[in-house]
Each structure stands twice: as C-alpha cells, then as structure tokens.
Chain A
C-alpha cells in the first residue's frame, strides 16, 4: 500500500514537473484544448486513449477545407465507383501526430508518416490486409526537393523484394503498385503519386 502511494506521488510529481519543464507543449494550445481534448483517460475508444473523431477534427481544422495550412488533406477513402467495399482511413492511420519516425533505412520519414507499432519505434503502418508493414517516406536527396522512388511507390527499387513506399505498402487490390510483385509496377514509376491522387481529394484521382 505504501509503495503504491509513493508510486502515485512520483507519477504526479513527474507530470507536474513535465508541464513546468516543457511549458510550450501545453501552452501552445488554448486552455480548452489541453491533453484531454485529444486523449481521454477514462472511456476512450480509440488507440492511445484517443477520441478518434476529435483527432480528425484537430488535424482538419487547419489542413481541411477553409483551414489555414497550405498543406491540404482529407481522409483516405475509395471512389463511389469502386468495386470494393467502402473504406475510410483517418489521419492517424498513416500519421503519428507527435513525431517524424525513423524508418528501417535509418532515414527520417517526412510528414509524420508511420506510426509506432513496437518498442523499436521504427516507422511502420498497420495495413488493412497485410498486417504491420514497414513504411518509407523520405527524400534521399537524389533530386532536390523531390521524393525518390522510396517515397511513394518504390517498385522494389532496392531489389529486396519488399514494397515499402508510403502508397504501396498497404495496397493489395489496386491495379498498380501493390505491396507484392503482382499487378503493374510500371505505372508512372518514380513520379509523385499525389499529383494525380491528391491527398485533399481523398487520394481519389
């Protein structure tokens, strides 16, 4: 009992100390929008104690229509005309709101892509059909300011038999750029997918 009380005291002091040491981590937000706005200690339904719809509103309040960011985005859905059942992947399906993660190539992913799936902290994604997979979304500097093959659809650029570009690592039913050798891998190879499949248009061309 005494040990549990001491543990509780330490936890409270650590929390208070954290706020004092890194005030910007909370003071950057309106008093209404502290940790509890995204995280719900009691009764949360989403992963990481999040209230999923609120997270989406938080992201899209700036990145959605009418928001102030020039980086516009919307959730990932399939077309009304798709032959497959409708799906809807929200922001946290691909992005970690808290940090850019290192990928298995020892580079740092861009745009907060990749989520923490285990203790290594390496950027991975929980895919709909293929379990947890590696994801790489970085510019390796081949073309200044332009992503390389690894960024969107690597078409197994490094010949390791693993398709880990940010678009293809999930795809198993698309016509092009699946996460396996089947289908076509030549479609606009090396190009920037989001020029046609815009993030703001649900990635639908």
Chain B
C-alpha cells in the first residue's frame, strides 16, 4: 500500500451498455464524469491524495469477482445479466457476454467461464467467447460463489440455500459435499463466498449463519475432503473485527483471510491460523475508496492489489497494495 495506507481506484459504470444500450445523454454524462474524475485524479496524484479514478466500464450490479491467469478481472453483473471482463490496470472492458438469468458465482478454468446462475439454479460453463457449453450435474438453488483448483480440476460451489459447498470435477460430475461431517461447529447454515488456499489445500467459506438468532456469522475452514479445520466467529475478538453479513472471501499466500462485510462496508483481514484480526480495508460510504454493499474480494498475488465489487455504486474498488502488511 502507499505510505498513507490507502489507495483506491474506482471503475465508474455507464449503465446498460451490455444488455440495453446506454442512452447518448447518459454516456455523455458518464464521459464527462470520467474526464472530470481523471483531472481530479491527476491533481490528486500531484497533491499526494489517496485515490485515483480509472476509465469507465459497464457495471450496474457487480456481485462476484475473480482473477483470470491473464490478470484480467472477471465480474458477474446481476442486473446487467452479464459476465464482464475488465483489464486490471485501466478498468477497460475487454469483453462481455450476456447470461440468460441472474449470474452470481464466476470462475475461470482452462479457457472456460464457470457461472452460477440463480435463475436456472445451476452452474453453467461457457467458452471464452461466451458460448454456452454445458451445465454441472444437478441443481443448486443459489449457486452463490465458485472456486476452482486449477491443478486438480476440482470445482467448489457454495450452495447458499442448501447450506453446503458442492464439489464437482471440471467436466461437471458431482463428487461430494462439504462439510463431510455435520457437527455443530462444522456445519454451514447459509454459505455465501468461497476461496481456496491452494498451498494448504483448504477451503475457506463465509457463512451468514442465522441473522435472526441461534448461530452467528462465521468464516469456516475445511480441508479439501470437507473435514472441519477451524472457524472464525463474527462475534469473537474486538468489536472492530466483528462481522454479521459476510460475503466474498479471499486468501493470500501467507494464509491471511480477507472477508467482505456487506453491511458495514469493510474488508476485514484475519490471520487464518489464529483468527486474529489484522487490518481493515475500506469503510461504509459512497466516496472513492468507500464501500456500499460490497459483495466480493479478489487479490493479485503479484502486485498485492485488492479488488472489491462495490455493488450499490456499480463499480470495482481497487486498494493498491492493500494485501501488503
């Protein structure tokens, strides 16, 4: 991160540019915003302020985000009904393709997009041009998030309504469910986000629990076979590291777990081994670098940049070097 401890890059959206064509007036206004923003950005750099603004993109309701091996950002847009690929440094749209339904989870594996479609209740596989190929076996009421282990060719999907993580091979055959054994501490209630720690072969899952009572929000950690390893409670620790509406999760090479709290508008960073709170990225609000219903987080291991889907504001927030110490 920068010396001031915070840097954010935001991709402004230009509504309706994928599904419904954006109106000329809207685009003109959007371009004007971008020009003003760019000028402010340059001025900000000169003056040493904490944020910059990138080029316009097409996001309306960004939900999940994943990094492709090329470094491009893959974003599912729930209202735009599309998968949008963004160039990481500039925010420019590389490509976008429509999804018939409501896309949630998104992952990339060997030139194919894996998309969780809430409307069809299945995980659909598309080729690199957005052509539908096939769906994974069976149905999942809300395939909320997807992670793929590229070395093993195994696909993990959070099934929010079923209260499980469903595991498939890359060709779509069903393998097993997580947790393997449903003890009280191992169980999932309403899992949302998912990430894989490939070094330790662990599955990290965020769980809403039961917001009405009975089970607090948690981050649950399992081994690849689904055996419970440990959990991070949303009600443990100091109040600043408590959470109640966890969404996307990510993990870095050091085993630190990044958790999005969609309600408080923060990304909380925990030591994955001890559960200790380490730092917080972002805060609730609508200004650059602030988050209003953030839903997912992705890390660039090389640059240490952290990318967060900022749903209500229709943009991706970028914390330059946010994954650093």
Q: Contact check, A54 vs B284: say whether CB atoms are below 8 A apart.
A: yes
* Closest CB in chain A relative to B62 CB, distance in Å: 9
Total residue contacts A-B, CB cutoff 8 A: 95
Within 8 A of B (CB), among A1-57: 24, 27-33, 53-54, 56-57
* Closest CB in chain B relative to A78 CB, distance in Å: 12
Chain B 134-172 against A: per-residue CB contact (8 Å), 1 yes, 0 no?
A: 000000011011000000000000001100000000000
B120 within 8 A of partner (CB): no
Q: Which of B102, B213, B285 contacts A24 (CB 8 A)?
A: B213
Q: Contact check, B244 vs A30: say whether CB atoms are below 8 A apart.
A: yes
* Closest CB in chain A relative to B59 CB, distance in Å: 12
A65 within 8 A of partner (CB): yes
Q: Contact check, A80 vs B23: say whether CB atoms are below 8 A apart.
A: yes
Q: Contact check, B16 vs A66: say whether CB atoms are below 8 A apart.
A: no
Within 8 A of A (CB), among B18-36: 20, 22-23, 26
Q: Contact check, A65 vs B20: say whether CB atoms are below 8 A apart.
A: no
A60 within 8 A of partner (CB): yes
Q: Which of B23, B102, B293 contacts A81 (CB 8 A)?
A: B23
Q: Which of A33, A61, A80 contacts B20 (CB 8 A)?
A: A80
* Closest CB in chain A relative to B312 CB, distance in Å: 7
- Chain A residue with Cβ nearest B217: A30
List the A side residues contacting B61 at CB < 8 Å: 65, 74
B15 within 8 A of partner (CB): yes
B180 within 8 A of partner (CB): no
Q: Which of B16, B234, B263, B286 contacts A61 (CB 8 A)?
A: B263
Q: Contact check, A31 vs B235: say whether CB atoms are below 8 A apart.
A: yes
- Chain A residue with Cβ nearest B241: A32
Q: Which of A62, A70, A81 contacts B161 (CB 8 A)?
A: A70
Within 8 A of A (CB), among B104-147: 104, 141-142, 144-145
- Chain A residue with Cβ nearest B212: A28
Q: Contact check, B104 vs A66: say whether CB atoms are below 8 A apart.
A: yes
* Closest CB in chain B relative to A38 CB, distance in Å: 10
List the A side residues contacting B79 at CB < 8 Å: 65, 74, 201-202
A58 within 8 A of partner (CB): yes
B242 within 8 A of partner (CB): yes
| A: number of interface residues (CB 8 Å) | 29
Chain B 262-299 against A: per-residue CB contact (8 Å), 1 yes, 0 no?
A: 11110000000000000000001110000011011000
B239 within 8 A of partner (CB): yes
How far does the alpha carbon of A20 sit from the alpha carbon of B110 in the complex, in Å?
A: 58
Q: Contact check, B295 vs A57: say whether CB atoms are below 8 A apart.
A: no
A110 within 8 A of partner (CB): no
Q: Contact check, B293 vs A60: say whether CB atoms are below 8 A apart.
A: yes
Q: Contact check, A66 vs B295: say whether CB atoms are below 8 A apart.
A: yes
List the A side residues contacting B78 at CB < 8 Å: 65-66
How far does the alpha carbon of A105 sit from the alpha carbon of B284 in the complex, in Å?
A: 41
- Chain A residue with Cβ nearest B216: A30
List the A side residues contacting B22 at CB < 8 Å: 80
- Chain B residue with Cβ nearest A198: B102
* Closest CB in chain A relative to B290 CB, distance in Å: 10
* Closest CB in chain A relative to B194 CB, distance in Å: 12
User: Which A residues lie at the B interface, using CB under 8 A?
Assistant: 24, 27-33, 53-54, 56-58, 60-62, 64-68, 70, 74, 79-81, 200-202
Q: Which 10 pairs from chain A and chain B are nearest by CB? A: A65-B78, A30-B244, A68-B190, A61-B245, A80-B16, A61-B263, A61-B262, A65-B63, A68-B208, A66-B295
User: Which B residues lie at the A interface, using CB under 8 A?
Assistant: 15-16, 20, 22-23, 26, 61, 63-64, 78-79, 102, 104, 141-142, 144-145, 160-161, 190, 192, 208, 211-213, 216-217, 234-235, 239, 242-245, 247, 262-265, 284-286, 292-293, 295-296, 311-312
Pairs A–B under 8 Å by Cβ, sample size 30: A27-B213, A28-B212, A30-B217, A30-B242, A31-B239, A31-B242, A53-B284, A53-B285, A57-B265, A57-B284, A57-B293, A57-B312, A60-B312, A61-B262, A61-B263, A62-B245, A65-B63, A65-B104, A66-B144, A66-B192, A66-B262, A68-B160, A68-B161, A68-B190, A68-B211, A70-B141, A74-B61, A81-B23, A200-B102, A202-B79
New A-B contacts (17) at CB < 8 Å, excluding given A53-B284, A53-B292? A28-B213, A30-B216, A30-B234, A53-B312, A57-B293, A58-B263, A60-B293, A60-B312, A61-B263, A62-B208, A66-B78, A66-B192, A66-B311, A68-B192, A68-B208, A70-B142, A81-B20
